[in-house]
Amino acid sequence: MKCGVVTIIGRPNAGKSSLINALLKTHALIISPKPQTTRNALRCIYNDDDSQIIFTDTPGLYTPDSRDKLGIFLNDSILEALDDSDCILWLIDAGTRKLKPDDYEIAKILPKKIPVILTANKSDKSDPSQAIRLYEEIFTFADRVAISARTKRGLDSLMAAIMPHIPEGEAIYDADILMDTTEKFMASEIIREKVLMLLRDEVPHCVAVVVDEYKSPDEYPDRKKLYIRATLITETEGQKKIVIGSKGEMIKRIGEESRKAIENVTGIPAYIDLWVKVVANWRKNPAALKRFGYA
């Protein structure tokens, strides 16, 4: 038996979460076309007959300013995840034609003793050879693979490149565990995915979602439905108005879309009760960040 940890790092929007979903053949992680979708390092568990691999998703690395405490938390959680890894995938967009400061930052923070595989994603859209050459100029990789999380191209080659770096060892997680997190957290992520899907510009990035109550028929047999009460936290009154929408239309849509997605994942009919609250400048406030799950 082999068992090990593989961490995925890269710029925002490279497709890190999409890749893990593709490898695990599920939609465990939320994805969106907007950068900074992922906000926590999340462990997802892949099993086959003779190996267990813990894939750690990370937030996209970007350079925050010193007031952006959420950005600082995101980068810290990347650093912490890296140290724990047996192998790292540096996920890049195959269409990259020019390196950015964030790429040099990633090259700088990667631990020197852990093998790094250059993984060129979105190769359904662009020829990866030029991007691979660019990144090989700034870092020495153990291997390089071109993939597409969307079409699943190259995923077998990627697994073959990962396996030699996974040590012998017994499985850490039971085979039926997909993610090392709670149902309550997954519900808050699904709601955040719908916020990212339905709201535009900066607004979704100013929203945190906290599930205040999660009552499942598994625990409360007298209930027929899963009951979820959640609060959407915004930074300003203006954002709160946008999240609610005219005559409450937007919050209703967020609730509807979240309900369908949560019912899909849990297989249980759900009732979602959403509230909106302003916590001024929460992204700059360490105590608020902690309360909202970013600590």
Ligand X SMILES: Nc1nc2c(ncn2[C@@H]2O[C@H](COP(=O)(O)OP(=O)(O)OP(=O)(O)O)[C@@H](O)[C@H]2O)c(=O)[nH]1
| Residues engaged in binding ligand X (CB under 6 A) | 10, 12-18, 31-33, 35-38, 59-60, 121-122, 124-125, 148-150
Q: What angle do CA 42, 24, 30 make, to 5 degrees?
A: 50
56 binds, among ligand X, Mg ion, none (CB under 5 to 8 A by kind): none
Selection from ligand X, Mg ion, none that 204 binds (CB < 5 to 8 A by kind) is: none
Q: Which residue, among 173, 123, 169, has the nearest Cα to 146 in the 3D structure?
A: 123
- Distance in Å, CB of 258 to ligand X, minimum: 18
Q: Decide: is 13 part of the binding site for Mg ion (CB under 5 A).
A: no
Helix (H, G, I), strand (E, B) or coil at 120: strand
Closest to Mg ion by CB, 61 or 131: 61
φ, ψ dihedrals at 54, nearest 5°? -95, 110
- Does residue 239 bind Mg ion (CB under 5 A)? no
Residue 263 binds: one of ligand X, Mg ion, none (C-beta under 5 to 8 A by kind): none
Distance of CA 25 to the CA centre of its chain: 15
Task: Give how many residues touch Mg ion by CB under 5 A.
Answer: 4
d(CA 83, CA 99): 24
- DSSP H helical segments within the chain, as ranges? 16-24, 69-83, 101-109, 129-136, 155-162, 183-198, 237-244, 249-266, 286-291
Nearer of residues 133 and 152 to ligand X, judged by Cβ: 152
User: Which residues are bridge partners to 241 per DSSP?
Assistant: none
Report, in Å, the least distance between residue 16 CB and Mg ion. Answer: 5
The DSSP secondary-structure symbol of 198 reads: H
Query: Using CB distances below 5 to 8 A depending on partner kind, what does residue 13 bind out of ligand X, Mg ion, none?
Result: ligand X
Query: Which position has the token pair 């990866």?
Result: 128
d(CA 255, CA 224): 19
What whole-number distance in Å separates Cα of residue 11 and Cα of residue 92?
Answer: 7
The whole-angstrom distance between residue 106's C-alpha and the CA centroid of its chain comes to 17
| Contact (CB, 8 A) for 198 and 242 | no
| Under rule CB under 5 A, residue 234 binds Mg ion | no
Q: Which is nearer to ligand X, 17 or 51 (CB)?
A: 17
Rule CB under 5 A: choose which of 7, 13, 17, 216 binds Mg ion.
17
Q: Is 121 in the site for Mg ion (CB under 5 A)?
A: no
| 21 binds Mg ion, rule: CB under 5 A | no
Query: Residue 284 and residue 67: Cα distance in Å, rounded?
Result: 6
Nearer to ligand X, 10 or 255 (CB): 10
| Binder of residue 125, out of Mg ion, ligand X, none (CB less than 5 to 8 A by kind) | ligand X
Question: Is 77 an interacting residue with respect to Mg ion (CB under 5 A)?
Answer: no
Give me the 22-61 binding string for Mg ion, x by CB under 5 A, dash otherwise.
---------------xx-----------------------
| Residues that bind Mg ion in the complex, under the rule CB under 5 A | 16-17, 37-38
